Structure 1
Amino acid sequence: MGDFNHPDICWRDNTAGHKQSRKFLERVNDKFLLQVTEEPVRRGAILDFVLTNKEELVGDVELKSSLDCSDHEMVEFKMLRAVRRAQSKLITLNFRRVDFDLFRDLLGRVPWDKALEGRGSQDSWLVFKDHLLQAQE
């Protein structure tokens, strides 16, 4: 979480205008991080980012009034507890039993142009991941 001062980054489209912002965006993507702040905090720009590698670890992201003389609004969020490994079962796929033709067919039935139309990279990834997990079942 922090004030990264990249007002030219468009998180919906995964684009940036300035070279320094594009480099920052590349690093975020290289590390498979998600930016979960959705509302602008200062003059219509999202400057304060909450980055996570697992969306389910961060919840209830809200903007609050500014603190004292700051020109930024406060970003409040909850850190959600991770499931303890001792309590969870690790599911591994047995690729020897996979029907890849069926898997390919199921994913081929998705109208990807329409499913991803107008979505940024983050939303597109979530749509793709959802279809991939459904086909996996």
Structure 2
Amino acid sequence: MCVCLQGYDLIGITETWWDGSYDWSVGMEGYRFFRKDRQGRQGGGVTLYVNDQLECMELHLGMDEELTESLWVRIKGSAGAGDIIARVCYRPPDQRDQAHEALYRQTAAASHSQALVLMGDFNHPDICWRDNIAGHKQSRKFLEYVDDNFLFQVIEEPMRRGAMLDLVLTNKEGLVGDVKLKGSLGCSSHQMVEFKILRAVRRARSKLTTLDFRRADFGLFRDMLGRIPWDKALERRGAQDSWLIFKGHLLQAQE
């Protein structure tokens, strides 16, 4: 009923808990759907429904896909708008480091897309998105991965007991907007998140030259900055002088 009333183009669901016994009941008229059930144990699972008026295809990145509960779909854009890559993901609270790394490799490979929208339950309740800090090691690693891939987290309101578990991330500022929390569906303890993908947005062309950090060698960048004896370079320097010294080394390494 909710789908019929709202007419959504894209619907992502996490923790479906589906298996083969649900094959007859999961389709929706007017939608093409993709699903990935958890194998070998109960729970988990993700699915994506895409309006059948949109041309789309599932993507297989070939990077330890069996380790992650996520789906990738490329949706063909209208003339001149470009394609959109959408992903729905569920990260169990007890997910192992190996699965984390697989998820990060997949996202890094897809982040070169012009338009990327990631959504799902990432289960990082200890992250403070306002200050970009986290208490647990895996959450700090997740923040690092978000920064390294130039992703924007667009949800601002906590959804479940004051925590943000369900997130929407994008690699293009202004691509996702009008984010709303729509209350719980059925007996779920999570809230539905509604948002718009602003594919028709056109930005004025800037004549300002900028660096393409997506092609940067960050390993070399870190290595160059790591060689600098910071304790000696900043010894007895005030805040302003220290900042100027750091900025100089940063820009030199950037070049």
Name the TM-score, length of structure 2 as normaliser: 0.34
1:23 pairs with 2:141 = yes
Secondary structure of the residue aligned to 2:174 is helix
| Equivalent residue for 1:79, pick from 183, 194, 197 | 197
The alpha carbon displacement at 1:91 in A equals: 3.5
Cα pair 1:36 1:55 within 8 Å, conserved: no
Match of 2:180 in 1: 62
Q: In the alignment, residue 3 of structure 1 is paired with which amino acid?
A: D
Secondary structure of the residue aligned to 1:75 is strand
Secondary structure of the residue aligned to 2:127 is coil
Cα pair 1:65 1:73 within 8 Å, conserved: yes
| Equivalent residue for 2:207, pick from 92, 96, 116 | 92
Q: Distance in 2 between matches of 1:35 and 1:41?
A: 14
Deviations 1:70-123 (A, max 9, x none): 100001101101556xxx77443379xxxxxxxxxxxxxxxxxxxxxxxxxxxx
The structure with the greater share of residues assigned to strand is 2
Match of 1:44 in 2: 162
Greater RCO, 1 or 2 (C-alpha within 8 Å, sep 6+): 1
Match of 1:4 in 2: 122
Alignment of 1:82-121 (within 5 A): 82-83=200-201, 90-93=205-208
The structure-2 alpha-carbon separation of the partners of 1:91 and 1:4, relative to structure 1 and needing over 3 Å to count, comes to same
| Equivalent residue for 1:33, pick from 147, 151, 176 | 151
Q: Distance in 1 between matches of 2:165 and 2:188?
A: 13
Cα pair 1:61 1:76 within 8 Å, conserved: yes
The alpha carbon displacement at 1:68 in A equals: 1.0
The structure-2 alpha-carbon separation of the partners of 1:82 and 1:7, relative to structure 1 and needing over 3 Å to count, comes to same
Q: In the alignment, residue 70 of structure 1 is paired with which amino acid?
A: S
When the two chains are superposed, the root-mean-square deviation of aligned CA atoms in Å is: 2.0
- Divergent runs of 4+, >4 A: none
Cα pair 1:57 1:82 within 8 Å, conserved: no
Q: Which runs of 5+ in 2 are unaligned?
A: 1-118, 211-255
**Aligned-residue identity in percent:** 75
Q: Which runs of 5+ in 1 are unaligned?
A: 96-137
Name the TM-score, length of structure 1 as normaliser: 0.61
Higher-Rg structure is 2
Q: In the alignment, residue 133 of structure 2 is paired with which amino acid?
A: T
